[in-house]
Amino acid sequence: MKKERALLIVNPLAGQRKAKYNLFTIIEILSSKYLLTVHLTESGEDAFRTTESLRDEFDIFFCCGGDGTLSQVVNGCADADDPPTIGYMPCGTANDVAATLKLPKNMPACAKKLLTAQAKPHDIGIFCENRKFVYVASFGAFTKSSYDTPQAVKNALGQSAYVLSGAMDLTNIRKISADIVCDEKVYSFDDVAFLSVCNTKSAGGIVKFPDSKVALNDGKLELLIVRYPTNINMLNDIFAAVAMQKFDSHGENVILVRGSHFEIKTREHIAWTLDGEGAGEHTNVVIDCVKGAINILY
């Protein structure tokens, strides 16, 4: 039986350089089933460029890195007429996608699981008509923690690096005025502290969404709005809602609604992130969900 062609894209710097210590074992495991080629990334956009240029030459793209590496691979292949299947081996810091897909954190164990995993359709988001994201687009409190934290600090401290950066970011939380359209629903706030449009059950390794609220291939994304806490009681209510996964479309301080088309306008330029990476500053953002745009092994 002819082996399928697979490209393994490895970010050697991700997640305390875990890939470096597991690479040969992963190659041995995947080579038992696939005709495998290996590529080590050398720059920030390398995974995207490599995937885009080779997406018609391989049946499967395995990526070994953080959620940002996976996002680059998805951006590189999602526009193909017949996008290749994607297999993800997490070795980043937060690994929100891996938590959502229930992939093992141990990389060799994950590689073994992918050998027998089935390819399942997965929705993606389109940000301002050109950029794609796998699991989250966000602005406000904590969103700068991921891409502002130096890679060396992430490697040294792991998840604690995000917690530390997030704690430091608390002093910079501010009220953001936003007009929001979610399908046919209209919202207007003068006090948004955090907003995300996501397709995930885990965000930042901290916020967890209940399984009943999230489906990964239903053509819908989740809009989460957290309002600015004006007093300690409100702050406690927000923390309690997040900790107990009490997200309600009619909530006062934490609001969760679902939709497929979003228009978000702010009165000033606001820095956005996509899958934990900086996406520039914007005042008008349009986000659309593309149902089943890619196939991921899990």
At 55, which helix (H) or strand (E)? none
Domain ranges of the chain: 4-117, 131-291
4-117 adopts what CATH topology? Answer: Rossmann fold (3.40.50)
Residue type for position 193: A
Nearest in space to 62 (alpha carbons), one of 16, 13, 4, 20: 4
Q: Do the Cβ atoms of 155 and 15 come closer than 8 Å?
A: yes
pLDDT of residue 235: 85
Task: Report helix, strand and coil shares of the chain as percent, to nearest 5.
Answer: 30, 40, 30
pLDDT of residue 15: 67
Identify the burial level of 17 via C-beta atoms within 10 angstroms of its C-beta, where 0-12 means exposed, 13-18 middle and 19 or more buried. middle
- Token digits for 114? 């992918």
First to last CA, the chain: 23
- Give the Cα separation of 285 and 263 in Å (integer): 6
- Token digits for 2? 């002819």
Q: Do the Cβ atoms of 97 and 216 come closer than 8 Å?
A: no
Assign domain 131-291 to a CATH class: mainly beta
Whole-structure pTM value: 0.87
CA angle 244-233-174, nearest 5°?
95
SS3 assignment, position 111: helix
- Give the Cα separation of 97 and 134 in Å (integer): 8
Per-residue pLDDT of the chain (298 residues; tens, 9 = 90+): 789 999 999 999 886 677 888 999 999 999 999 999 999 999 889 999 999 999 999 999 999 999 999 999 999 999 999 999 999 999 876 788 998 999 998 999 999 999 999 999 999 999 999 999 999 999 998 665 444 544 443 444 344 334 434 443 455 688 999 999 999 899 999 999 999 999 999 876 668 888 888 999 999 999 999 999 988 888 888 888 888 888 877 778 999 999 999 999 999 999 999 998 899 999 999 999 999 999 999 9
Residue 50 CA, distance from chain mean position: 20
Rg (CA), the chain: 19
At 292, which helix (H) or strand (E)? strand 277-297
pLDDT of residue 223: 96
- Give the Cα separation of 204 and 136 in Å (integer): 10
- Token digits for 269? 């330029």
- Give the Cα separation of 250 and 199 in Å (integer): 20
- Give the Cα separation of 59 and 135 in Å (integer): 23
DSSP class of residue 80 equals S
DSSP class of residue 127 equals E
